[in-house]
Amino acid sequence: MKIRRDIIDYLYRWKESGDRKPILLRGARQTGKTWIMREFGKEYFDYTAEFNFDKVEELNNIFEKTKDIKRILKELALFIEVPLEPGKTLIILDEIQMSEGALNSLKYFCEDAPEYHVIAAGSLLGVAIRKKKMSVPVGKVEPLKMYPVTFKEFLRISDEKSYDYINAMSKVEVLPEIILNRLKLEYKRYLICGGMPEAVTTLLANRGIQAVEDTLQGILDLYTLDFSKYVSASEIPRINALWNSLPSQLAKENRKFVYRVVKSGARAREYEDALLWLEEAGLIYRVFNISKPGLPLRAYQDISAFKVYACDCGLLRRLAKLSPEVILSDSSGYTEFKGALMENAVLQSFVNQFDGIPSYWSSGNMAEIDFILQLGVDIIPVEIKSDMRVSGKSLSVYTNKYNPSYRIRFSMNNLKENGGLLSCPIPLVDWLLKIMNVWK
């Protein structure tokens, strides 16, 4: 089963651009970077020339001994059966973190051979660059982030009729009950498998829940092995402990990250490198508290107060050992973590849609807004409710204090707007930009 990824459209525009640079594709392991490069080459080029620096060690020697792109291309041609023709061949440099020379060569592809289409990618690229003190040719590459499969992409395969209906919306109006109910069901299924492509295809191919669980556990086990690749032996237990503490951190009513949840007596300075490692590996997002909603939001962040979310809601669910049946049946006792899982899924969509990671706002123990978005000159508070109950005073407290022009509340209620408040079903979060364009 093939998943149509929206990033393909971005890559096509890059292909047709007259002033393109080599792409440096980053993202967490198992998000489908290698697959998308191959699929893009197969769909839009006559030939695809793939070079993997992890599998073929001799490739590294080519880039270490010369910076002459013509010579590099001539030697690369010896490793493949397809021609390296400008405009017709996609050149893939995979696992590029294994070769500093290859990483630096992207600069010379940009300057001396812009007629070639080059995409480079690597596992744990951010971690490797910092560990090996490698430099990225800034300004000479186009950075691109690969994220897990979105619910929008999931729905396009799982329920095409509902996808087409939502995609055709041209105004904010109440959804037909049949559409809303189908969206809710598919969103529950998405929360179970998450966005890792292998887990998505396993679920949509109806191979059974246990196969989905095995797939997700396999990815988690792979991540655990990765923890030992680029860190000292003393740092491995800290990364493991921090990663495994995510469900406990998010299950609290106040989801602010607390070091003592990782380990009794733990201090910030002991775990800062572990947090940074997980961030650079693309496995977590840190959402910082802001003192007030001013422009730019980053200027008002409190770097000592933050929440930590996982890169994927399916991995978080499996890490927490939360049974899929609990999500499907809405079992009693599934309360705080239900909210956490929904927040994690919404954050995934925000990171994929908007530039940067949102913030959150709190006022002592009185009120807390889950996410604060900065869209142009607008600062928009976003409240997440995991079901149809929307009681709570936090949004009112924030509104009375700052009088925002726009507010958003995600829940499992129907779509509507009322006096600057957009009430939106959580499954529509991937369409938020489109909805806001017709709402504002």
- Predicted confidence (pLDDT) per residue in 79-90, tens digit: 999 999 999 999
What is the domain-level CATH number for residue 139?
3.40.50.300
Question: Of 89, 122, 145, which closes a domain?
Answer: 145
pLDDT reported for residue 227:
86
Angle (nearest 5°) at CA 284 between 242 and 244: 30
pLDDT reported for residue 393:
92
The answer to whether position 51 is within a domain reads yes
The answer to whether position 2 is within a domain reads no
Residues 131 and 244 in one domain: no
**How many CB atoms are located within 10 Å of the residue 191 CB?**
23
Residues 109 and 215 in one domain: no
pTM for this model (two decimals): 0.94
- What are the pLDDT tens digits along the chain (440 aa)? 789 999 999 999 999 998 999 999 999 999 999 999 999 999 999 999 999 999 998 999 999 999 999 999 999 999 999 999 999 999 999 999 999 999 999 999 999 999 999 999 998 888 887 777 788 888 999 999 999 999 999 999 999 999 999 999 999 999 999 999 999 999 999 999 999 999 999 999 999 999 999 999 999 999 999 888 777 888 999 999 999 999 999 998 889 999 999 998 888 999 999 999 999 999 999 999 999 999 999 999 999 999 999 999 999 999 999 999 999 987 777 888 999 999 999 999 999 999 899 999 999 888 999 999 999 899 999 999 999 988 889 999 999 999 999 999 999 999 999 989 999 999 999 999 999 988 87
Residues 139 and 155 in one domain: no
The answer to whether position 1 is within a domain reads no
Residues 93 and 180 in one domain: no
Residues 129 and 239 in one domain: no
pLDDT reported for residue 254:
86
The answer to whether position 277 is within a domain reads yes
Residues 281 and 320 in one domain: yes
Residues 287 and 412 in one domain: yes
Strand-strand pairing, 367-375 and 378-384? antiparallel
pLDDT reported for residue 161:
97
**Count of structural domains within the chain:** 2
**How many CB atoms are located within 10 Å of the residue 265 CB?**
7
The answer to whether position 56 is within a domain reads yes
Q: Which of 319, 148, 324, 168 is nearest to 243 (CA)?
A: 319
Tokens standing for residue 227? 């923890």
The answer to whether position 17 is within a domain reads yes
Residues 173 and 121 in one domain: no
Q: What does the DSSP assignment read for 89-134?
A: EEEEEESGGG-HHHHHHHHHHHHH-TTSEEEEE-TTHHHHHHHTT-
Residues 352 and 314 in one domain: yes
Q: Whole domain around residue 256: which residue ranges?
A: 151-439
Q: Which of 76, 137, 131, 67 is nearest to 98 (CA)?
A: 131
CA distance 72 to 66: 7
Residues 97 and 234 in one domain: no
Instruction: Give the rounded distance of the alpha carbon of 435 from its chain centre.
Output: 21
pLDDT reported for residue 234:
85
Residues 260 and 408 in one domain: yes
Residues 40 and 173 in one domain: no
Question: Of 116, 145, 174, which closes a domain?
Answer: 145
pLDDT reported for residue 124:
86
Question: Of 84, 117, 145, which closes a domain?
Answer: 145
